[in-house]
Amino acid sequence: MGFVWSLPMSLSAKSILFAALTFAAATTASAADYTNYQAPDNSYERPAAFQWSGAYFGAHGGIASPKLNPFASGRGFAAGVQAGYNFQVGPGIVGAELEGSYLGNNEVRVPNGRLEERFRGAAKAKAGLTFDRTFVYGTAGLTMTKFEGGKGVSGPSGWKQGYLLGAGVEQGFGGGLSAKIEYNYVTTNDVTTYSAGGKSKTDVHDHVIKAGLNYRF
């Protein structure tokens, strides 16, 4: 009887021991898998800020008018090229720009008639703030304008010096390209004209609204 009783007990003990070892091995493997698990990398690299520093060149087109309203009579088409250089320190920018424009038949009123502006060159300083790819700036400088006689008057010979004030906003894109919209107020003092009524001097003012493209290199 003792032999018959001990056999099932021995088999039962072996079964329990085997089950315990199996459970322990499974638990160890699961723990190892958990230890070796690496969470996915969710880190985000912020794109580099747009760089406005350096040289650039471009072209522009717009309207020159003796009145702030760009659709007033006497307006002419303005088109030309520009080149400049910017220095950026943090969000601030200072720069310089040279610009040349053809003004078409923009007419300005003078005593006894109208005078036509044909060409203009400008040397401008620029300063403003950037908001990554957006540059908001003011500009000021000297101008040289070429006049020609118009309706009822003859114009001055050579080029006349003037002054420029303005503001603009420029948006940067990829590949060094940017687009801008700019307003300039230009005044040219003591412009001499001749008519049947004699000689006169006039301070000439006009407004230029233009859009342009620049390429940085």
pLDDT in tens for each of the 217 residues of the chain? 444 444 444 556 666 655 555 655 555 555 555 455 555 666 656 666 778 999 999 999 999 888 887 777 667 889 999 999 999 999 999 999 999 999 987 888 888 888 888 999 999 999 999 999 999 999 999 999 998 877 888 878 789 999 999 999 999 998 899 999 999 999 999 998 888 888 888 999 989 999 999 999 8
Domain boundaries, position 120: 56-216
Is 78 part of a structural domain of the chain?
A: yes
Is 138 part of a structural domain of the chain?
A: yes
| CATH number of 200's domain | 2.40.160.20
Is 35 part of a structural domain of the chain?
A: no
Distance of CA 185 to the CA centre of its chain: 21
What does the alpha-carbon distance between residue 139 and residue 96 come to, in Å, rounded to a whole number? Answer: 9
Which pTM value belongs to this model? 0.75
What does the alpha-carbon distance between residue 28 and residue 6 come to, in Å, rounded to a whole number? Answer: 33
Reduced to 3 states, what is the DSSP secondary structure of residue 135?
Answer: strand
Number of domains in the chain: 1
- Phi then psi for residue 111, to 5 deg, are -55, 130
